[in-house]
Amino acid sequence: MMRATPDSPRMFESDLVDFFSRTHPAVVPALFVPAALALFWYGVAHLGIGVLFSLALGVGGFVVWTLTEYWLHRLFFHWQPGGAWGDRMHFLVHGVHHKWPKDKYRLVMPPAVSISLFFAFLALFYLVVGPRLVWPFHAGFVLGYMSYDMTHYYIHHYNPRSEYGLRLKKNHMLHHFKDHGSRFGVSNMVWDRVFGTTGR
């Protein structure tokens, strides 16, 4: 059972709420691999979308996730409204991660948040992409989210073996410990270059 420890301090007075503020990283693929496969299968098997076209839509969704990751991190996670309420909101959304970056149970989104966002983005893409093509597109978006969450966990707790993985880790550690106002990409560094936030 995931309870408060020196490495994973208490955030809430309620034992129940504090318990659900922690998430084991295995929860992410357990939830979202089947969800992405179901979305893809629905588009192919029930709506008659070709496999290659579905894969292309999935790649598009994945790319859209990388852009979403960048802007969520830059605009929302690091947004600090004024006042005590704003400070508390920022701490709950992202400040807790910057305060305790080694807390292995607060590196991925809790299911209450990630599942809510799953359906919120599905509704948005249903309107934007359309009721037929949304399913494989959202499958790619969901896999993009999953790769972000698992990459984030990995680079905080392990040393990547690939050159690119080591660059990702260094980039993210510089965001944490040198400049919170740059290097917002976690699973990739492309959008930081595009939008000029590669830091000093």
List pLDDT tens digits, range 132-190.
999 999 999 999 999 999 999 999 889 999 999 999 999 999 998 888 889 999 999 99
pLDDT score recorded for residue 78: 74
- In tens, the pLDDT along 18-58 reads 777 788 999 999 999 999 999 999 999 999 999 999 999 99
Biggest CA pair distance of the chain: 53
Residue 172 φ/ψ, nearest 5 degrees? -70, -35
Task: Please check the confidence at residue 199 and state whether its pLDDT lies above 90.
Answer: no
pLDDT score recorded for residue 76: 81
- In tens, the pLDDT along 90-130 reads 666 666 777 777 777 777 888 988 999 999 999 999 999 99
pLDDT score recorded for residue 3: 58
Q: Which residues of 142-181 are buried (b: 16+ CB within 10 A; e: fewer)?
A: bbbbbbbbbbbbbbbeeeeeeeeeeebbebbeebeeeeee
Task: Please check the confidence at residue 1 and state whether its pLDDT lies above 50.
Answer: no
Percent of the chain past pLDDT 90, that is, above it, reads: 63
